[in-house]
Amino acid sequence: VFAILFLGPRGAIPWFGLFLGVILLIVLIDPMVSAHVRQIPLWVRLSYWVQNLAVPGAIIFALLRYTDIRRLAAQARSDELLTNAIPTSIAERLKHGEQRIAERYPETTVLFSDIVGFTPWAQRTDPDRVVALLDDLFTRFDQLAVEHGVEKIKTIGDSYMAVAGAPIPRQDHADAALAMARAMLAAFAEWRAGGAPELEMRVGLASGAVVAGVIGQKRILFDLWGETVNLASRMESSGVPGRIQVAPSTWQLLREKVAFEQREPMEIKGLGLMATYLAGTPSGMQPEPASRSMASAAEAGAVSQFQIARDHEQTKN
């Protein structure tokens, strides 16, 4: 038992062989010794018998208990890592044996955000500081997602993607996504004041149906696909720094509750001419004029990492 604890299963094998050898030797010697030794009192034999049962039993129980505690701790850690990678409800389905998870969610609102000017800023900033600041910002966003009941999907570079209404449906998905977007802008303003005053952030929202599922075997990912996802990405990339731009689908759901500023119809890549809307500005932010065009935003270095990835996907297809 002690050899297993301190040497491990492989290192304990020689000691277990030695133990069996000693037992065999005792069996062979005991008859010869017993013939030349007077009878041992009953109470002594009983005490030896109790010790031979109780001590090994206690050691085995302690070893099993220790192993069980380690197993539960490892399982809890594994569950924590899994639920950090994918939604809890999806993780539970995987743990119950489902091999392929794919669902269609008819009512969702997808959110994209991107930091304007992040790439040139990162190139002239110490890498440790870049990583520390970005980790701080996304940690704040993750907490906001939990508070607003919005599901984080992934990050690519300095871009953040989330969805309301999947994998757990909710009727107020557009309200939740807009509240999350506003909270993100407020958190970004606070974060920016602490170390990156020259940066801005755009947010884009679009509502509609998506297809969602788990892909991969080693680094599994819960991801979204569909026109709503592409539209939300376009809303972000063509948006105004410091503002939340929404698609007509989201505007239709929120126009009775929220004041919007309609922009001039613009050409949205892959989708044609489209009217877009800017949600009311959170306090503490200084938005640029809504007339700022997509071209001027690109000249300022505002290129969405998500958009680059999606354009690359569409080119391959």
Count up the domains in the chain and report the number: 2
Domain boundary among 45, 62, 85: 85
Whether residue 225 is contained in a domain is answered as yes
Q: Do 106 and 161 have their domain in common? A: yes
Closest listed residue to residue 149, CA positions, set 89, 91, 93: 89
Whether residue 223 is contained in a domain is answered as yes
Whole-angstrom distance, CA of residue 223 vs CA of residue 165:
13
Closest listed residue to residue 177, CA positions, set 78, 246, 240, 117: 246
Whether residue 257 is contained in a domain is answered as yes
Q: Are 144 and 99 in contact (CB under 8 A)?
A: no
What integer pLDDT is reported at residue 227 of this predicted model?
A: 93
Cα 273 to Cα 209, 240, 264, 276, 315, distances in angstroms: 21, 17, 10, 10, 21
Q: How many CA atoms lie within 13 A of 279 on its CB side?
A: 36
Q: Do 48 and 121 have their domain in common? A: no
Q: Are 183 and 150 in contact (CB under 8 A)?
A: no
Q: Do 80 and 148 have their domain in common? A: no
Q: Which residue's entry shows tokens 């209404």?
A: 165
What pTM value is reported for the model? 0.68
Q: Do 184 and 255 have their domain in common? A: yes
Domain boundary among 38, 59, 85: 85
Tens digit of each residue's pLDDT, the chain (317 residues): 666 666 777 788 888 888 888 888 888 887 777 777 777 777 877 887 788 788 878 878 887 888 888 888 887 777 776 666 677 777 777 777 777 778 899 999 999 999 999 999 999 999 999 999 999 999 999 999 999 999 999 999 999 999 999 999 999 999 999 999 999 999 999 999 887 778 999 999 999 999 998 877 776 778 899 999 999 999 999 999 999 999 999 999 999 999 999 999 988 877 889 999 999 743 334 444 444 434 434 333 334 455 545 554 444 44
What integer pLDDT is reported at residue 2 of this predicted model?
A: 66
Residue 141 sits in a domain of what CATH number?
3.30.70.1230
Q: Do 269 and 173 have their domain in common? A: yes
Q: Do 185 and 283 have their domain in common? A: yes
What integer pLDDT is reported at residue 284 of this predicted model?
A: 38
Domain boundary among 51, 85, 119: 85
Whole-angstrom distance, CA of residue 129 vs CA of residue 132:
5
Q: Do 56 and 118 have their domain in common? A: no
H helices then E strands: how many in the chain? 10, 10
Q: Do 251 and 190 have their domain in common? A: yes
What integer pLDDT is reported at residue 301 of this predicted model?
A: 38
